[in-house]
Structures are given as structure tokens and as C-alpha cells.
């Protein structure tokens, strides 16, 4: 049966996360409902990357199988019926064995913070009015690149077989308007990992935790040592990277 990848972006403020949950409104539930309205049949969607309640995405994917005719007009029809917070960016026919989760080789996230009240950042950044040393933040971000075991930055009660992650990028920057941005890319992420990294690095940037203590938190492999209090609205899943088999099919206009 033909398989398709569905690319979308969304503002997660009003949703309880990406993947379907009982008694909660999610991105998957909205997309599934609209697909079923258009095609008058049920769809089984598989998600690429879970995002928590309130977290946004510039790019994420579902895949589904169907014998129904899928054309470019489907994008227009989906966007016409979906809420304003969800946008379908593309639909791509891929090899039947492709998997939007398991064929992903890396993902990147961005976290936004701002210092002064800004009505345009309210739902897409964390207002953080405290003085922070950007140099210390970047030293902490650089230390992360030296490690692979991120047990300390995984929320408890998560069902994974390994806490090993390979970080390719980890960097803070100060952008226009005093917006502080953390960018991170890795082959995989653990539950709550980016928010745990940001919250714990901020303690370094404020002088509450030394760089040596930060290393000890990583090496402690204990999630009670990290700070997961970082709110969700500043976090964006920015891109999902795919292997050389799938990537050539994910070209806008080619699906």
C-alpha cells in the first residue's frame, strides 16, 4: 500500500501535545479528524517527534498508508478545515517501508527567551527578566557536546532503552531585541530533555551553579539534579532530518 509523509507546522499553545491522547485535544487528533472529513474513512497516523503540551513546531511529520488518490489539492483542503494554529506544508509519497520516526537521523530544537515585556513573544518565548552571563551559558552548552549519557535530563517514568544521545550543535546567541536563543541538534532527544538543559544552564548563567557542578549534574545521571521548570511556550521543534533514502522524497512540489 502506498505510504505518504505529511509535513506540518503548528503553534502548540492550545494543545496537549503532538500525539493523540485520551480526553485531550492534540495536533494528531485535529489532523486525523480533518482527514476523515475529507476522505470519509479512518486514517492511522504515525508521528515522527513527540512534543509536549504548549510546545510548537516549525516542522514535524506524520506518515500514513492509503490507496486513495492523494494530490496537491489535499494540502489546500486540509488547511481550509484545520484550525489556524496548524498548517500542512506538504504531502510526499515515499517508499512503502519508510517510517517518519525511525528513519529520522537527527532533530533540532530552538528555545526563545526575552527580557522585557513583549506582547508579540508572549506565546512563543519565556519572559526571563534576570541578568544572565551569555559567556557562561555558552561554556555550559559546549560542555554538553562532550557527553553522550543524558540520563540527568530525562524526565522520570519514560520508557526508553537508552539515555545515550549524540549532540551535534549546542549554542546560545543574543539576537535583535534582546532575545536569547538556545539551539541544539542531536540524533535523538529524551522526554523533557531540551527544557531540562535550558533550565539547568540558566542556573550556570546566573552563577547559581558552577561549571564544575554542571559537569557533576551530567555525570550524576540523576534527573533530580536538573531543573525542568522551564515553561513550554519558548520551545520549537525546528527541523526533522532524514536519512539518504527518505530525504530525496521530501522536496516541496515533488509530493
Are 127 and 229 contained in the same domain?
A: yes
Euclidean distance between CA atoms 16 and 59, whole angstroms: 18
* Structural domain contains residue 251: no
Give me the half-sphere count of Cα atoms (radius 13 Å) on the Cβ side of residue 39: 21
Q: Of residues 22, 52, 65, 222, which has the active-site annotation?
A: 52
* Structural domain contains residue 74: yes
* Structural domain contains residue 223: yes
CB within 8 Å of 3: residues ≥ 6 apart: 63, 64, 65, 93, 94, 95, 96, 97, 98
Kindly report whether the global pTM for this prediction surpasses the value 0.85: yes
* Structural domain contains residue 253: no
Are 212 and 121 contained in the same domain?
A: yes
CB within 8 Å of 249: residues ≥ 6 apart: 5, 92, 93, 94, 95, 98, 255
Are 165 and 60 contained in the same domain?
A: no
Give me the pLDDT at residue 253, please: 64
Strands 126-127 and 104-114: parallel
Are 55 and 159 contained in the same domain?
A: no
Give me the pLDDT at residue 24, please: 85
* Structural domain contains residue 246: no
CB within 8 Å of 24: residues ≥ 6 apart: 16, 17
- Furthest-apart CA atoms within the chain: distance in Å: 59
Are 76 and 197 contained in the same domain?
A: no
As given in the structure block, the three cell numbers for residue 67 are 490507496
Euclidean distance between CA atoms 33 and 6, whole angstroms: 14
Please say whether the beta carbons of 152 and 218 come within 8 A. yes
* Structural domain contains residue 250: no
Please say whether the beta carbons of 195 and 118 come within 8 A. no
* Structural domain contains residue 252: no
Are 130 and 190 contained in the same domain?
A: yes
Give me the pLDDT at residue 255, please: 44
Of 82, 102, 122, the one marking the end of a domain is: 102
Are 98 and 113 contained in the same domain?
A: no
Is residue 231 helix, strand or coil? coil
Give me the pLDDT at residue 239, please: 98
Euclidean distance between CA atoms 73 and 32, whole angstroms: 17
Residues 71-106, buried b or exposed e (16+ Cβ, 10 A)? Answer: eeebbebbeeebeebbebbbbbebeeebebeebbeb
Domain extent at residue 215: 104-237
> How does pLDDT run along the chain (255 residues), one tens digit per residue?
999 999 999 999 999 999 888 778 999 999 999 999 999 999 999 999 999 999 999 999 999 999 999 988 999 999 999 999 999 999 999 999 999 999 999 999 999 999 999 999 999 999 999 999 999 999 999 999 999 999 999 987 777 889 999 999 999 999 988 899 999 999 999 999 999 999 999 999 999 999 999 999 999 999 999 999 999 999 999 999 999 999 999 988 644
Euclidean distance between CA atoms 54 and 14, whole angstroms: 7
Are 129 and 232 contained in the same domain?
A: yes
52 is catalytic: yes
Are 203 and 115 contained in the same domain?
A: yes
| CATH assignment of the domain containing 92 | 3.30.70.580
Are 226 and 126 contained in the same domain?
A: yes
Are 90 and 129 contained in the same domain?
A: no
As given in the structure block, the three cell numbers for residue 36 are 476523515
Are 108 and 224 contained in the same domain?
A: yes
Strands 56-65 and 235-242: parallel
| CATH assignment of the domain containing 154 | 3.30.70.660
Name which of 2, 65, 1 is nearest 35 in CA terms.
65
Q: Give how many domains the chain has, as a whole number.
A: 2
* Structural domain contains residue 144: yes
Amino acid at each position: 500500500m502506498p505510504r505518504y509523509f505529511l509535513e506540518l507546522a503548528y503553534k502548540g499553545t492550545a494543545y496537549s501535545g503532538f500525539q493523540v491522547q485520551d480526553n485531550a485535544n492534540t495536533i494528531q487528533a485535529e489532523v486525523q479528524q480533518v482527514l476523515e472529513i475529507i476522505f470519509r474513512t479512518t486514517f492511522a497516523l504515525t508521528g515522527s517527534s513527540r512534543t509536549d503540551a504548549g510546545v510548537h513546531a516549525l516542522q514535524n511529520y506524520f506518515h500514513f498508508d492509503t490507496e486513495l488518490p492523494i494530490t496537491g489539492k489535499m494540502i489546500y483542503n486540509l488547511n481550509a478545515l484545520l484550525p489556524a494554529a496548524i498548517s500542512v506544508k506538504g504531502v510526499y509519497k515515499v517508499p512503502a517501508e519508510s517510517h517518519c520516526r525511525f528513519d529520522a537521523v537527527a532533530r533540532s530544537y530552538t528555545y526563545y527567551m526575552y527580557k522585557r515585556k513583549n506582547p508579540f513573544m508572549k506565546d512563543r518565548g519565556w519572559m526571563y527578566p534576570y541578568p544572565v552571563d551569555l559567556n557562561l551559558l555558552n561554556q555550559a552548552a559546549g560542555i554538553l557536546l562532550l557527553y553522550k549519557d543524558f540520563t540527568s535530563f530525562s524526565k522520570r517514568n519514560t520508557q526508553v532503552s537508552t539515555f545515550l544521545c549524540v549532540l551535534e550543535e549546542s549554542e546560545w546567541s543574543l539576537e535583535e531585541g534582546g532575545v536569547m536563543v538556545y539551539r541544539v541538534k542531536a540524533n535523538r532527544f529524551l522526554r523533557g530533555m531540551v527544557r531540562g538543559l535550558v533550565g539547568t544552564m540558566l542556573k550556570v548563567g546566573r552563577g547559581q551553579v558552577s561549571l564544575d557542578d554542571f559537569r557533576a549534574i551530567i555525570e550524576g545521571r540523576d534527573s533530580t539534579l536538573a531543573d525542568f521548570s522551564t515553561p513550554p511556550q519558548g520551545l520549537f521543534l525546528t527541523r526533522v532530518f532524514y536519512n539518504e533514502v527518505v530525504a530525496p522524497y521530501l522536496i516541496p512540489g515533488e509530493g
